[in-house]
Structure 1
Amino acid sequence: MDSVDVVRARVLKGVRHGFLGRGGGVSQGEVAGLNVGLGAGDDPAAVAENRRRARVAVAPEAQLVTLYQVHSAECIVVTSPWNDADRPRADAIVTDRPGLLLGILTADCAPVLLADPDAGVIGAAHAGWKGAIGGVVQATVAAMEQLGAQRSRIRAAIGPSIAQGSYEVDDAFRDRFCAKDPQNGAYFAGGKPGHWHFDLEGFVASQLAASGVEAAESLHLDTYGAPQRFYSFRRSCHRNEASYGRQISLISLD
């Protein structure tokens, strides 16, 4: 059996966390590997086993808590675990309770893991373009602050996501960002006529900086360009595949 692929960020050293790939799972077919997505059309038993393996790889004794992600800027404070069927609709989660393993699912969007170890507060955010422009990063930092974290002490890492060279968008997409702030144009590189390449990871990093998070690390791992290692929604669409898997990013307090 292949081992679970866990990437850890230097900036979160000393904090139990991991950005997981698709290696080491039991799913088959188009979602082969460590698919943890409940909505991927996968065998529920395989997804449950993959989630168990993911948890064991990062924090074996903790209870996994995930969300029903909707590409929003909503952040939830969790004090006790819920059943998968009762997952709240949100895209970020924070806690100050040991024993909880916060999980964010992605397949091109940017997973962000955050921690203020001194305060004993952690967070995890799902930052697709909608959530990122909507303020999910800022909402996560604010929620952590309400639990006692200090922005100046928060450390954050941006995990595997679609790279700029793989993320082609149209004029309307870019216009939406520039209407919000003309300086957002810096995150778009020119492509074929009427199209651009969007730097999602760079934009999310800018949102962390704007939120007062000075210690941030981008892992620069392209989900689209590494089909053996990561799931990618856009790659799946380009290949006309019927389904796509989701990888998970995890963080827990000791």
Structure 2
Amino acid sequence: MTKPSYFSPRGGLPGQEALHTGRAVFTEAYAVIPGGVMRDIVTSALPFWVGTRTWIIARPMTGFSETFAHYLMEVAPGGGSDRPEPDTEAQAVIFVTEGAVEIALGEIAHLVEPGGYAYLPPGSGWRLRALGEEPARFHWLRKRYRAVEGVDAPEAILASDAETDPVPMPGTDGRWATTRFVDPDDLRHDMHVNIVTLEPGACIPFEETHVMEHGLYVLEGKAVYRLNRDWVEVEAGDYMWLRAFCPQACYAGGPGRFRYLLYKDVNRHPALTPGG
């Protein structure tokens, strides 16, 4: 089995001799944020987080993607927060790419290392601390939970990429597969954060056009991605942000696997008032 690789940003600045022309683009249907633009000068500090900086690469925007926020977190050893989430209605997914963190839920602390996944329900009062001697780097996805009368709220989930079997897409001989940390038939969940894997030369062979919003962070490899009417080259460290109904398809174009972390909103009726 191929050992997973998880790209993490490093910040820094390019030299003064560098050309500024790059691949960043923001359109009415999608955005591409290349890894090369995730520099020190665009990081943020967060209230009640110690030894932490973050790249906020998606946030709700009226008329674009409205359901979620996506952060790339870098936490120094010993840093973290006992009050990480300011919104009591917000749920979270943490996916660790480097280092190790301790996530505490009540009196129980969980070690989460690279490839580790944690789903944290709204109001769970979770806490996080970076362990070890190197910074911890991880994704933090936030979404307000849409409760449904008669449907229980989900509980916390701790899982890992290595211990979760990918599900092959039908008719692909496993060349296109999805690692699902949540049962797609579990209606308690209104968002999924999965890992999609395409082997070299594999493709998404049609233009998906659907109601779900997407955030796609490339963990490994490279590909050519169809976004609305454009074909865009992407590689590890790049981020794609798609509004609802943006057509999308993909060819995995590198010598190794192409893998990305995928957010989508699921399992709820669309709101029938503007802004939902």
Q: TM-score, normalised by structure 1?
A: 0.33
Which structure has the larger Rg over C-alpha atoms? 2
Which fold has the larger relative contact order, with Cα–Cα distance below 8 Å and residues 6 or more apart in sequence? 1
The structure in which a higher percent of residues are strand is: 2
Q: Which has the higher helix share?
A: 1
